[in-house]
């Protein structure tokens, strides 16, 4: 007996339509301004800790004064989330990427100001 040929019936493909989510411009701007304020706080903290570190190194006559200044810089970095909460900021509102950028900015600025402060024109 001959087998019957199967007819392949093409089913109509489902059409996908992309619908973008609703964009809230006001929320986006407020979140960006909030991130900028936290960024400014990180910069101010970096400047203050850098100046304090330079003062410690210049005033303390020890070869390990730089270790103390560096430890203070890293201690404030690790406690920055708590410091932001004390200043009534909510760090959990920020993305992890921007918070990490604020931490790195703080460290670079604090250690950079400290290095500038211990060199010839300022020492």
Domain ranges of the chain: 31-118
State percent of the chain over pLDDT 70: 96
Would you give the end-to-end CA distance of the chain in angstroms? 104
| Angle between helix 96-118 and helix 65-78 axes, rounded to 10 deg | 160
2 confidence band (pLDDT: 50, 70, 90): low
pLDDT of residue 44: 96
pLDDT of residue 107: 94
pLDDT of residue 86: 92
Mean predicted confidence (pLDDT) in 39-66: 92
The pLDDT tens digits for 30-43 are 889 999 999 999 99
């Amino acid at each position: 007996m001959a087998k019957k040929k199967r007819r392949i019936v093409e089913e109509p493909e489902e059409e996908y339509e992309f619908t973008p989510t609703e964009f809230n411009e006001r929320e986006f701007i407020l979140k960006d301004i909030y991130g900028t304020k936290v960024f400014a706080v990180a910069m101010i903290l970096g400047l203050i800790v850098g100046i304090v570190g330079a003062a410690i190194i210049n005033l303390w006559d020890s070869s390990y004064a730089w270790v103390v200044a560096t430890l203070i810089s890293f201690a404030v970095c690790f406690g920055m989330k708590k410091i932001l909460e004390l200043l009534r900021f909510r760090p959990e509102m920020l993305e992890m990427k921007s918070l990490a950028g604020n931490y790195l900015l703080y460290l670079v600025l604090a250690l950079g100001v400290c290095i500038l402060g211990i060199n010839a024109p300022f020492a």
